[in-house]
């Protein structure tokens, strides 16, 4: 009797997970042991998928364990990798488990770039394989019964979980096998089978009949609900419906049988017979309707024996009244099963391959934190550099420290010599010229990479738009213009960055051209430099005066401040604090990460002291510059001045300014070169991202086109059957259309035809006057007796009959509208029958394909009536 339903596995197409995951890892994580370990884990994940989906699975617990491990691993990597159409784009293709396909169309399948879709299909296979393993259990021992009940409840929970999550996981209409209605029915079927297993165990353990009856009645209730859910749907295989109906009747019969035993124990013999009769009727229904699916002979014999014995005892001994079925008390229900909830990990042997990789939310928080940190550090460094440039500008405008060193009037001040030496060591104008010549080439390289990336997106988007316009609503995938919005925004941002870089390059070149001659002067040897500086009369000896000493002390203090800034800048850059543990703790405690609050608090604790030192440095410089300007005013009053000394001082100021500009320009150009090189790496990654998504979209496009071709091939196409002409639409002698066995095509809009109709056939010739005279009276009588005859005659006259008119015999499906009558052989223009057989019709041998009609003798025809032979 036992016949359990198992679910077929879905089939997956092969997918390489290792390549896209390794590419993402290499782009996201720095090179090192951690990156290599993550790449090895990606390879292991790809092998695990092949082991779980790339081969036929045995109906064994080890195969189910492999599937569950793969499902757990998918759940583990979901928060760690950004699987989406515009990031890690991996297209998963699965076939419908219940679709058998067709000769031309193949099986129904769905391809989606969604990890949630992959998880749903893998969990479906877990439930399906669990149902197959349960169906293979030996139910003659306790171990087999326990295992079957466990696997059926697990399968029920898996299908129930899919029902609750599939629509949110896919964000589109799924295939029929994983639709909420289908998996909901499957979950109920698995639950019913688990309940039946408990009924079998209770029966085997010889538990009380009241308990067994409740268990069986509950199983019947589950089977009945499952049958109702799929009764008017064709989502499940057709052999499922009769099995569900049979199981519902069988479980109800078992419940009635065991309840009858309880009634017998309670001396309710009439109730016993009533329940056994109902059980017998249920079993007979199964045997008559579903015998090819389930054999109920043993159960039927058992109930028949019990019913015969009960009737015999009641007839001879008890004489108890047998109540009607509707008067019997309902049997109670007892459910011992429930769907096993899906709680990750569902495998007991699961080990996370990416255990050391932080979740994606933590990665995103770390990225934002690093950006906040970089902004804070860059802002502090920019403040210090700006203050240093300001100090250098003020000193250059005051010709310090050259003014207090230039006491002879005919030699190069020591500070100028040091600056000249520094410029020469750094390459001078030759280095700056080379850096400026390299900038356009670096810019052009980045422009080409960006343009090529956007060109790939444009071409794929144009192709997608063309196919969408061609297939319209059939083209069911995310439009490229919506999918590429983040990439296009990123591309526009890169374009703006390049435009700003071009503007900054122009400013650097303009500034360099204005100071190039002075910088070139600093690059000359000391004799040439000394000759280029105008000489002046020796200044008044001021060495050792208080004002000179004050200026030298202030300049020394300012130099210490600038040196301290260099150290402070290095300290700011070298601070490193890993926030991973902090974010992981917050995620574990709260289930979410408040990145802004955590980052601001931590940055204030880490960089608070450094920020305070920066502000102190700025304030100290401000006070020093104020004191230097005051001391320089006193120094200028004491210093003797003339036109020659003023000209010399102006040249020395220009040389000091040129040195500062050279240092700044060289730093800017090196920074610009570094920027372009780093931007090239970023743009190459952007190009790779665009190329990957375009390739994935191309693959998805090809799959979708193939599916569309298969679905079009599966669609039934109605033949273009032309409408019958008017003279073929009306049968001879009547107004009812001729019936036909030809399938009626779908209604079509037909253009009325003005084609002229052929003339009517002439009536049969008159054979003799006797015949004419003998037939005229009955014809007139018949015409007078039937008032409708003129109308019928006028109607027939309006349309040309396709055959010789005869008596108005009734028209049957598959037969012409009149019966051919035998005519004299002397002259018969209608000698050949419907199939052009070259022999005359005979009363004893009807025409081929023409069955005779049991019609009465018609007036107006002197020929003998054909005998009626029933059609074989």
Rounded CA separation 506/439 (Å): 10
Contact 406, 537 (CB under 8 A): no
In this prediction, residue 799 carries a pLDDT of: 41
In this prediction, residue 67 carries a pLDDT of: 94
Q: Which of 538, 531, 518, 519 is nearest to 644 (CA)?
A: 538
Tokens at residue 153, please?
A: 């409840």
Strand partners, 94: 12, 110
Residue burial 166-180, b: 16+ Cβ < 10 Å; e: rest = beebbeeebbbbbbe
457 Cα distance to chain centroid: 20
Tokens at residue 101, please?
A: 């396909």
DSSP per-residue string spanning 293-323: T---HHHHHHHHHHHHHHHHHIIIII-----
**Beta-carbon contacts of residue 199 (< 8 Å; ≥ 6 apart):** 212, 215, 216, 219, 251, 254
Tokens at residue 96, please?
A: 């419908």
pLDDT digits (tens, 9 = 90+) for 342-384: 999 999 888 989 888 888 788 888 888 888 888 888 888 888 8
φ/ψ of residue 110, rounded to 5: -135, 130
Contact 362, 593 (CB under 8 A): yes
Residue 493: other Cβ atoms inside 10 A = 10
Q: Which of 627, 624, 621, 608 is nearest to 564 (CA)?
A: 621
Rounded CA separation 688/529 (Å): 54
Tokens at residue 236, please?
A: 């499940």
Contact 485, 87 (CB under 8 A): no
Angle at 468 between CA 462 and CA 469, to 5 degrees: 90
In this prediction, residue 770 carries a pLDDT of: 40
In this prediction, residue 795 carries a pLDDT of: 38
Angle at 219 between CA 217 and CA 220, to 5 degrees: 65
574 Cα distance to chain centroid: 44
Q: Which of 363, 679, 367, 758 is nearest to 498 (CA)?
A: 679
In this prediction, residue 31 carries a pLDDT of: 79
In three-state secondary structure terms, 92 is strand
> What letter would DSSP give residue 827?
S
Contact 276, 306 (CB under 8 A): yes
In this prediction, residue 590 carries a pLDDT of: 77
In three-state secondary structure terms, 83 is strand
Q: What percent of the chain is predicted at pLDDT more than 70? A: 78
User: Residues for the chain: how many in total?
Assistant: 872
Q: State in Å, rounded, how far the first CA of the chain is from the last one.
A: 42
Residue 350: other Cβ atoms inside 10 A = 18
Tokens at residue 244, please?
A: 């569900």
In this prediction, residue 321 carries a pLDDT of: 86
In this prediction, residue 197 carries a pLDDT of: 95
Give residue for tokens 């995620």: 587
Q: Which of 175, 142, 207 is nearest to 11 (CA)?
A: 175
Rounded CA separation 117/349 (Å): 24
Rounded CA separation 853/872 (Å): 14
> Which is it for strands 92-95 and 109-112: parallel, antiparallel or unpaired?
antiparallel
In this prediction, residue 834 carries a pLDDT of: 43
Residue 853: how many CA atoms within 13 Å on its side-chain side?
20
Cβ neighbourhood burial of 441 (10 Å; 0-12, 13-18, 19+)? exposed
Tokens at residue 248, please?
A: 């519902």
Tokens at residue 300, please?
A: 């039927």
Angle at 232 between CA 254 and CA 709, to 5 degrees: 130
What domains, with CATH codes, occur in the chain? 7-205+338-357 (1.25.40.280), 207-319 (no CATH), 384-576+607-662 (1.20.140.50)
In this prediction, residue 847 carries a pLDDT of: 47
Rounded CA separation 854/862 (Å): 17
Rounded CA separation 53/124 (Å): 12
Tokens at residue 562, please?
A: 């600038």
In this prediction, residue 757 carries a pLDDT of: 54
Contact 273, 234 (CB under 8 A): no
Rounded CA separation 700/661 (Å): 57
867 Cα distance to chain centroid: 72
DSSP per-residue string spanning 487-506: HHHHHHHHHHHHHHHHHHHH
Cβ neighbourhood burial of 628 (10 Å; 0-12, 13-18, 19+)? buried
Contact 6, 128 (CB under 8 A): yes
464 Cα distance to chain centroid: 17
Rounded CA separation 301/650 (Å): 125
Give residue for tokens 């596995």: 9
Contact 391, 558 (CB under 8 A): yes
Q: What is the CA radius of gyration of the chain?
A: 49
Q: Which of 295, 286, 185, 287 is nearest to 240 (CA)?
A: 185
Q: Which of 109, 121, 116, 134 is nearest to 189 (CA)?
A: 134
Rounded CA separation 547/535 (Å): 24
Rounded CA separation 678/319 (Å): 102
Contact 202, 215 (CB under 8 A): yes
In this prediction, residue 643 carries a pLDDT of: 62
H or E segment to which residue 109 belongs:
strand 109-112
In this prediction, residue 830 carries a pLDDT of: 47
Rounded CA separation 34/73 (Å): 19
Angle at 236 between CA 231 and CA 240, to 5 degrees: 70
> What letter would DSSP give residue 800?
-
Rounded CA separation 143/669 (Å): 79
Tokens at residue 149, please?
A: 């009940």
Helices then strands, each counted (H, E), the chain:
24, 2
Q: Where are the alpha helices (DSSP H) in 314-349?
A: none
Regions of the chain where pLDDT drops below 50: 1, 103-105, 540-541, 729-755, 767-872
Rounded CA separation 477/698 (Å): 12
Contact 270, 310 (CB under 8 A): no
Rounded CA separation 376/382 (Å): 10
In this prediction, residue 689 carries a pLDDT of: 84
Q: Is the pTM of this model over 0.75?
A: no
């Amino acid at each position: 009797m036992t016949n359990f339903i198992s679910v077929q596995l879905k089939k997956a197409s092969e997918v390489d997970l290792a390549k896209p995951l390794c590419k993402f890892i290499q782009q996201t994580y720095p090179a090192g042991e951690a990156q290599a370990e993550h790449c090895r884990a990606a390879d292991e994940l790809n092998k695990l998928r092949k082991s779980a989906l790339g081969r036929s699975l045995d109906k064994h617990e080890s195969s189910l364990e492999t599937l569950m491990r793969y499902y757990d691993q998918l759940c583990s990597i979901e928060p760690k990798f950004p699987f989406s159409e515009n990031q890690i784009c991996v297209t998963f293709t699965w076939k419908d488990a219940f679709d058998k396909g067709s000769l031309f169309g193949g099986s129904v399948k769905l391809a989606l770039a969604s990890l949630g879709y992959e998880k749903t299909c893998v969990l479906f296979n877990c439930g399906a394989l669990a149902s197959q393993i349960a169906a293979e259990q030996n139910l003659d021992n306790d171990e087999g019964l326990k295992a079957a009940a466990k696997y059926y409840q697990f399968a029920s929970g898996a299908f129930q979980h899919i029902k609750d999550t599939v629509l949110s996981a896919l964000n589109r209409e799924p295939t029929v096998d994983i639709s909420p209605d289908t998996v909901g029915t499957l979950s109920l079927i698995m639950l019913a089978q688990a309940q039946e297993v408990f009924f079998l165990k209770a029966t085997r353990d010889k538990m009380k009949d009241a308990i067994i009856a409740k268990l069986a009645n509950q199983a019947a209730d589950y089977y009945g609900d499952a049958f109702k859910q799929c009764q008017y749907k064709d989502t499940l295989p057709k052999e499922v419906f009769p099995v569900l109906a049979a199981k519902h009747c069988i479980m109800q019969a078992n419940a009635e049988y065991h309840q009858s035993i309880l009634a017998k124990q309670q001396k309710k013999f009439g109730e016993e017979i009533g329940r056994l009769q109902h059980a017998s009727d249920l079993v007979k229904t199964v045997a008559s309707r579903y015998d090819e699916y389930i054999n109920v002979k043993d159960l039927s014999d058992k109930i028949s024996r019990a019913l015969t014995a009960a009737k015999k005892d009641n007839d001879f001994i008890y004489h108890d009244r047998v109540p009607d079925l509707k008067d019997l008390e309902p049997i109670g229900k007892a459910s011992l099963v429930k769907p096993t909830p899906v709680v990750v990990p569902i495998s007991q042997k699961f080990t996370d391959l990416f255990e050391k990789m932080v979740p994606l939310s933590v990665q995103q928080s770390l990225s934002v934190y690093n950006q906040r940190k970089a902004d804070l550090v860059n802002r502090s460094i920019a403040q210090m550099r700006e203050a240093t440039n300001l100090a250098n500008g003020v000193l250059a405008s005051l010709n310090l420290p050259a003014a207090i060193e230039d006491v002879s009037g005919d030699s190069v001040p020591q500070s100028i010599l040091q600056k000249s030496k520094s410029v020469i060591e750094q390459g001078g104008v030759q280095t700056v010229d080379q850096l400026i010549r390299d900038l356009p080439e670096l810019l052009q390289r980045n422009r080409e990479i960006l343009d090529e990336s956007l060109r790939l997106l444009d071409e794929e988007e144009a192709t997608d738009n063309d196919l969408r316009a061609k297939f319209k609503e059939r083209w069911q995938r995310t439009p490229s213009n919506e999918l590429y919005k983040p990439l296009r925004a990123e591309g526009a941002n890169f374009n703006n960055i390049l435009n700003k870089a071009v503007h900054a390059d122009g400013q650097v070149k303009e500034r360099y051209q204005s100071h190039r001659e002075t910088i070139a002067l600093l690059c000359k040897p000391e004799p040439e430099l000394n000759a280029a500086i105008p000489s002046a009369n020796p200044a008044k000896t001021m060495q050792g005066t208080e004002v000179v000493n004050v200026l030298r002390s202030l300049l020394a203090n300012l130099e210490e401040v600038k040196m301290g800034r260099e150290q402070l800048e290095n300290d700011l850059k070298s601070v490193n604090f890993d926030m991973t543990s902090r974010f992981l703790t917050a995620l574990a405690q709260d289930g979410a990460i408040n990145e802004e609050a955590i980052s601001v608090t931590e940055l204030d604790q880490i960089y608070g002291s450094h920020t305070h030192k920066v502000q102190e440095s700025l304030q100290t410089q401000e006070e020093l510059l104020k004191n230097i300007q005051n001391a320089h005013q006193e120094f200028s009053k004491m210093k003797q001045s003339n036109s020659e000394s003023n000209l010399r001082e102006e040249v020395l100021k220009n040389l000091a300014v040129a040195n500062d500009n050279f240092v700044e320009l060289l730093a800017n150009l090196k920074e610009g070169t570094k920027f372009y090189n780093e931007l090239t790496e970023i743009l190459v990654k952007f190009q790779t991202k665009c190329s990957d998504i375009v390739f994935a979209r191309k693959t998805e496009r090809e799959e979708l086109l193939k599916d569309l071709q298969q679905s079009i091939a599966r669609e039934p196409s109605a033949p273009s059957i032309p409408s019958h002409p008017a003279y073929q639409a009306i049968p001879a002698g009547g107004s009812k259309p001729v019936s036909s066995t030809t399938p009626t095509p779908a209604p079509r809009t037909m253009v009325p035809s003005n084609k002229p109709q052929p003339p009517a056939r002439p009536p049969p010739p008159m054979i003799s006057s006797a015949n004419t005279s003998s037939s005229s009276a009955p014809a007139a009588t018949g015409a007078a007796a039937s008032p409708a005859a003129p109308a019928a005659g006028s109607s027939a006259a309006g349309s040309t009959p396709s055959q010789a008119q005869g008596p108005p015999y009734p028209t049957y499906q598959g037969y012409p509208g009149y019966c051919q009558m035998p005519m004299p052989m002397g002259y018969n223009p209608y000698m050949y029958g419907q199939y052009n057989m070259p022999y005359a019709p005979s009363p004893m041998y009807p025409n081929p394909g023409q069955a005779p009609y049991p019609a009465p003798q018609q007036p107006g025809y002197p020929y003998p009536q054909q005998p009626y032979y029933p059609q074989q």
